Chains A and B, each alone.
Chain A
């Protein structure tokens, strides 16, 4: 289950309102307005900064949806 905090970080990085978009565990990048391959890096660095964590490249590449990203964050902060 994705947290409001993660949702807000993603929306802030993409400069969209949280109320304008539905994001859940199964959501993939292409379903979110503005989350294209170039903006992807802004989303990832924003998550790393906000949670104070550092991902390995391969860990991010293995994430298929926002749920995977949330699990990755959880595994880093726990």
Chain B
């Protein structure tokens, strides 16, 4: 009756760098439901539960990275023993040396896989020498799990936590599949105690998990992938073929795409972890509602921004504190340029980081005059001021995302050339008629983004009170909706490349 080719099933389950287990793919959903079933059956047996997490996490990573799994295992072993060594070492200078060595190896590995060819190209371009690029395959998620493992050692150095005695627990922290490929970059101090605690999943947790998984799928498939494939890519590939107004809409659309792509992934990761009884840190908080760039960084990729704040910005700031405001400027520029470089080995990312550093530094100098001006014209704490701040911040962000998206600076020139010299607002009705679903998704996406948080809490509360069968039907309906909208294969998450 069923003609099953088992060799194909085998191939499907083996490592394929072009076919990782993407959240939202049918293979992932199938395997995850199987995993969750056993996880719940062994809910009372902590050891079995932990072994299941380790096994599934290692498989999940192997499916995306093959033998590069060994780099991940090395990272776990190395940082676990360094954490212990650092904790047992007395004397500031010895502790400092151990930390420097640890950071050097962690960042060295990251640099080798991620930045070698960037520097080879730089050496060739500057004609310092003539080197051939290396044939390197970057272990997926290395930027995320390196930072995750490093925070364990850094927190032990800063005496914020004691090392765990259990290598097994530490492996759960490093290998944990929901956040291994693209974060959130969870903190060891918050995660490790959860490994040893009993499995408690409240009805509210389930309601929240369902909402996160559903909103994540919708954000990724219905909004990000749809906008990207049907509109954004076309405009950014050849901006000169489109009018200024279409280029402007492509910029707004990309702002929504990158938010929905990345926060969609984080939502699903946090939701999946919740179904397993783990609470990961929040990664997004309506970032386009930010009233300043500083506020944006308190709302965007929170796990990375707080990591950089604690382990990079603060130490640099303290080092240059005698320079007062200029010390802050140095710390901001160093942090944001490296933040850009963390995202990828390209001048565009470095420039994107530089731009954010400049935005933050300029606002630092404008802080006091702005306060005085708002007071003088009686705008302090008014809605008009808030609207203006959100509007300006949003447009600065939309501009900065261009450096994230384009490969060459000339593309940005083309886009602005079209906007300023070929705006053609008269094509708007044609644009709406030709791209109706795109336009509707764009508007709906931003409207949803600006909805108050209380609405989300209310939805969680309603979902939590529902019968599990109804919950299952709603989840299935959302998956079905996503499958209908999906016009091609699930697109790789943008942040996977980082």
Cα(A62)–Cα(B315), bound, Å: 11
Whether the pair B313, A57 counts as a contact (CB closer than 8 A) is: no
Closest to A37 in B: B309
The 0/1 profile, CB within 8 Å of A marked 1, for residues 267-300 of chain B is: 0000000000000000000000000001000000
Whether B318 lies near A44 (C-beta < 8 A) is yes
Interface status of B5 (Cβ within 8 A of chain A):
no
A40 within 8 A of B: yes
CA distance A68 to B66 in the complex (A): 47
Contact of A61 among B314, B322, B328 (CB under 8 A): B314
Q: Which of B304-332 contact A (CB under 8 A)?
A: 309, 313-315, 317-319, 321-322, 324, 327-328
Write the nearest CB–CB distance from B200 to chain A, whole angstroms: 27
Given A41-B328, A64-B160, verify A57-B364 contact (CB < 8 Å).
no
Q: Kindly list chain B residues whose C-beta atoms are within 8 Å of the C-beta of A58.
A: 92, 158
Assembled-state Cα–Cα distance A58/B95 (Å): 12
5 closest A-B pairs by beta carbon, nearest first, are: A57-B318, A41-B321, A62-B159, A41-B317, A38-B328
A→B interface (CB under 8 Å): 36-38, 40-42, 44-45, 57-58, 60-62, 64
A37-B313, A38-B364, A44-B321 known, 20 other contacts, Cβ within 8 Å: A36-B294, A37-B314, A37-B317, A38-B328, A40-B317, A41-B317, A41-B318, A41-B321, A41-B324, A42-B324, A44-B318, A45-B324, A57-B315, A57-B319, A58-B92, A61-B158, A61-B314, A61-B318, A62-B158, A62-B160
Listed A/B pairs (23) with beta-carbon separation below 8 Å: A36-B294, A37-B313, A37-B314, A37-B317, A38-B294, A40-B314, A40-B317, A41-B318, A41-B321, A41-B324, A41-B327, A44-B318, A44-B321, A45-B321, A45-B322, A45-B324, A57-B315, A58-B92, A58-B158, A61-B158, A61-B314, A62-B158, A64-B160
